[in-house]
Each structure stands twice: as structure tokens, then as C-alpha cells.
Structure 1
Amino acid sequence: MCGRLSQYRGIHDFVDALSMSNPLANSVGEQPLGRYNVAPTTRVALLRLDDGVLHADLVRWGWRPHWAKDRAAPINARVEKVAHGPFFRPIWPHRAIVPIDNWFEWVDEGSPKKQPYLIRRKDGRPSLCAGIGQFSAEPNEHDGFVIITADSVGGMVDVHDRRPVVLAPDLAREWLAPTTSKEQAEQMALNLGEPSEAFEWFRVGVSVGNVRNQGTDLITPQVENSR
């Protein structure tokens, strides 16, 4: 997963996709997010469950433990290692759902610039990505999150060899539930992510490469090359 995504719907659209009846503590706002080109290190809307309340917060995309000051904060964590490696072990129990409209990957097709592709669900629903992070009641500089990624399969591997672990709504609710053990969560992430057949991908304009660019033109397919 290259590290660029879109969140343009409103947080209530994402909550509706998750279909949870818990009370909502919304610090994101009521308006559509309108963010078509979200880059790492920026604050991203995510959903987490705390004491029976579903929290919608803006949290920095990227996290590292306090002792890892010699490297940039990763934005993703490999599902094969995340549950057991010392780097992410402190935040493995702190699960969240990162709801996104789509994500982008760049492919070398022989042109001077790599070709960006947009990947999204075929059914038009948001992608509910499995994430973990450090979350505080009063946000601070140490808070952050990573998206869990798995190997790509099927045709999606032609776009990128890694993809976020996207969960169906019932599994996303289970991912957030405090009654779900760490072992159960690991098996979900390893084995129950949505298959590549649930997604579509197509070329988009190269302007998405500039993080300052926003707008619907960034997610408009180049029709003649769409899949």
C-alpha cells in the first residue's frame, strides 16, 4: 500500500457503513470530510470503541514507539508480523477501523512518471480498514495509528503487492469489540479480509501525485483504461 487515500464522505456515512448502535462521540464534525488526497502524517478520521461509546476522531497517520527515534513513523503494519513483533506489540490491543472511500497506488508502466491507480469497493460502500494505534483521551504528540496490510492476490497484485486489510461490517464490529481476544483479532486480520474480487481499480490523472491537489477530478477514471 503506497500511502495515499481519500475520505470525502461525512463521518455519519462511515458510521452507517459500520452499522453500530452504540452512542457516538464525534470530534470529526458533521460536514463531509471532502478530502480526496490524504497523505501520511496528516490526521485521518477513524472509529474506535471505548467503554461502549463509538468514538470518531482525527488521528495522525503514522506511529512509532517512544524508543524508535531513529526512523520515520510507519504508516502500515504487515499482518504477518504485527501481532508478535516488539515494534507494534504495545498498540496491538488498541484496535480501530479506518473508513476510507478509496486508496491510490502508483505503477511503473514505462512512462516518465508512474501511473496512479485508484482502488475502491465495487459496491460503492466505504472500505473499513483494520487499524491499530495509540489513542489518548486528550490527544498528544505520541498518538497515531497504522493500517494493517496483507499480500495482494488476484489481479490486484498487478497494481501493488500489498493492500489494506478491509473487513466486512460484521467483522469490523467484531474487530472493535473489547470481547474479541488478541488471538481472534489476529486470525481475522490474517484470514478474513475482503477478497480482491470485492474491489475495482482504474487509472486516474497524475495530478493526485501532488498532495496539495484536491477535488473530484482526482478520483475520476480515465475511462478508456478503466477495469
Structure 2
Amino acid sequence: MCGRLSQYDGIHDFVAALSMPNALVNHTGDQPFGRYNAAPTTQLAIFHQEGQHLHADMVRWGWCPHWAKDRAAPINARVEKVAHGPFFREIWPHRAVIAINNWFEWVDEGGPKKQPYLIRRRDRAPILCAAIGKYPSAERLPSEHDGFVIITADSVGGMVDIHDRRPVVFSPELAREWLDQATPKERAEHMALLEGESSEMFEWFQVDRAVGNVRNQSPHLIEPVDPN
């Protein structure tokens, strides 16, 4: 998965996609986010659950343990290693969901510059991505050490032509189970490894190369361009 995504709907649109009746503790505001071209280190809305309450907070995309000071904060975690490797051990128990509208990948098609593609659900519903992180809670105020990573898996089917990795995406039912603090870690690992949405749920198409400019947040970036 490349480091660019869109999160332009509002938090209540994403809550509706989750179909969670739980009371919402919302620290993200009520307006559409309007992030059509979000890059790493951007503050993005994530969901996590505390007891019976669903929390929505703005958290930085990217996280690094305190002892790994010699490298940039990763934005993704490979599902094959995330549950057992030392790097993400601190945050593996802290499951979250980031709801996005789409993500972007760049493909080398032989031209002078790589061609960007947009990937979204065929039904245009929000994409519920598995994530883990360090974020505010009832007991802990926001901190400069907060952050999250998106869990990624091998691409399957036609999407491998776009990129060899993609987010682990859950159905609303599985996203609710992932967020539930009562879900055992072993069950969460099984879900991430084997129960993500298949590539058949997605579509992809070429978009304007202007998406390469991270300062460009135009809605036109998510529109298809003529491949010819």
C-alpha cells in the first residue's frame, strides 16, 4: 500500500457504515474532513472502543516505538508479522479502525512518470481498514507519541497488478468485532490474516498525476482520467 489515501466524508457517514448503535464520543468535529490526498503524518480520524462507547479521535498516521529513534515512523504493518514481532508489540492490543473513501497506488507503466490509480469499493461504501495505534483514552490525554498504522496484507486477484500490498479491510460486522475489547488477541490475528474483504469488492482506475503533489487537496483528484 502506498502512502496516500482519501478521507473526505464526515465522521457520521463513517459511523453509519460501521452500523454501531453505541454512544459516540466524538473529538473529530461534525463537518466533512475534505482530505482528498492525505499523506503520512496527517492527522486522520480513527475509531476505537472503550467499554460500550465508540470513540472517534484525530491521530497522526504513522507510529514508532520510543526505542526506534533511528528510523522514520512506519505507516503500515504487515499482517504476517504484526502480532508477534517486537516493533508493534506495544500497540498490537490497541485495535482501531480507520474508515477511508479510497487509497492511491502508483504503477510503472513504462512512461516517464508512474501512473497513479485510485482504489475504492465497487459499492462506494466507506472502506473499513484494520489499524492499531496509540491514541487518547479516558485515562490518557493526547500525546506527541500518539499515532497509528494500517495493517496490510498481500494483494490477491487483479489488484496485484496495481500493488503487491493492500489494507486489510473488514465488513462492518467484522470491524465491530475487531474494535470490541473483549475479542481475544488470537481471534483478532485470525481475522486480520484470513477474513479481510476480497479484491472482488474493489475497483480501480487511473487518476490525474496531480495527486503526486501532497499540497493538492482538490476533489478532482478522485475523478477518473481517460487512459488513452
TM bracket, shorter-chain basis: over 0.9
Corresponding residue for residue 63 of structure 2: 63
Matches within 5 A, 1:1-227: 1-136=1-136, 137-224=140-227
Structure 2 Cα separation of the partners of residues 124 and 135 of structure 1? 28
Give me the TM-score of the superposition, normalised by structure 2: 0.97
Amino acid of the structure 1 residue aligned with 2:145: H
Aligned residues: 225
- How far is 1:51 from its partner? 2.4
Deviations 1:136-176 (A, max 9, x none): 33111110000000000111000000000000000000000
The runs of at least 4 consecutive aligned structure 1 residues that moved more than 2 Å come to none
Deviations 1:49-87 (A, max 9, x none): 012211111000000110000110000000000000000
Structure 2 Cα separation of the partners of residues 91 and 167 of structure 1? 19
Structure 2 Cα separation of the partners of residues 37 and 193 of structure 1? 24
Amino acid of the structure 1 residue aligned with 2:183: T
Structure 1 Cα separation of the partners of residues 103 and 225 of structure 2? 16
Q: Single out whichever of 51-60 and 117-126 deviates more from structure 2.
A: 51-60
Structure 1 Cα separation of the partners of residues 159 and 16 of structure 2? 27
Deviations 1:111-149 (A, max 9, x none): 111100000000110000000001133111110000000
Structure 1 Cα separation of the partners of residues 65 and 97 of structure 2? 20
Consecutive unaligned residues in structure 2, runs of 5 or more? none
Contact 2:77/2:152 (8 A) holds in 1: yes
Structure 2 Cα separation of the partners of residues 118 and 126 of structure 1? 14
Q: Aligned with 1:91: secondary structure?
A: coil
- How far is 1:223 from its partner? 4.2
Deviations 1:177-196 (A, max 9, x none): 01100000000000000000
Identity of aligned residues (%): 72
